Copies of this chain bind each other. A is one copy, B any other.
Amino acid sequence: MTSSRFAVATHILTLLALKGDEPLTSEVIAASVNTNPVVIRRTMAGLREAHLVVSQPGAGGGWRLVGAPEAITLCDVFRAVETDDLLALPPKLPNASCPVGRTICGTLGEVFHEAEMAMAERLARVTIADVLRDAVPQSSSPR
C-alpha cells in the first residue's frame, strides 16, 4: 500500500483548479483535506519541485496552479509525490547458488516495471480537469 500522498495531492490540485488564480493558504487547503497545514506543505514540496504549483510567502500569499487543469494528468501527480516503486523486491538478496535465486530479482524487476508502466498509462488518461468536473459538474462546458 502506498501512502495517501497521491490522493491528497490530487485533492489539493483540484481545489486550486477550482479557485482559479486566487492563491490558497496551507491552512485553507488543510481545512478541505481535513488535516494539518504542515502535512499540506509537505505534500506540496513534491508538487513544487515538479513545477505543478508555485508558492508565495508573506501576506496574501499561498499556492497557485502553474498550468491548465486539462494539462495535468494524474500520472504527473503520481510521479511528483510518489518516489518509491509500488511493487517491492525482497529486503535481502536471494541465495545466488540457486538458479531461481540467481535470476528472480532481474526477472521480477522487469515485470514489476512493466506493470507499473501499465498503471501509469491508465493514470495518464485522467486529468485534474476531469476530477474537477466530478466535483463541480457545471464548471466545464461539454465539448
Contacts and interface: CB of A to CB of B under 8 A. Distances in A.
Interface of A: 1-4, 6-8, 10-11, 14-15, 18, 31-35, 74, 84-95, 98-104, 106-108, 111, 114-119, 121-123, 126, 131-132, 134-136
Nearest to A96: B34
Given A1-B2, A1-B86, A34 B104 contact: no
Q: How many identical subunits does the complex contain?
A: 2
A87 B31 contact: no
A38 to B, nearest CB: 15
B102 A135 contact: yes
A123 B115 contact: yes
A14 B92 CA distance: 18
Lowest 5 CB-CB distances: which A-B pairs, in order?
A: A118-B122, A32-B98, A119-B119, A107-B134, A4-B90
Nearest to A134: B107
A19 to B, nearest CB: 10
B10 A104 contact: yes
A84 to B, nearest CB: 5
A96 to B, nearest CB: 9
Contacts of A4: 88-91
A135 B2 contact: no
A94 B135 contact: no
Given A7-B88, A18-B100, A104-B135, 19 more contacts: A1-B2, A7-B104, A10-B104, A11-B94, A11-B104, A14-B100, A15-B98, A18-B99, A33-B94, A35-B92, A102-B135, A103-B134, A103-B135, A107-B135, A111-B123, A114-B122, A115-B119, A118-B119, A118-B122
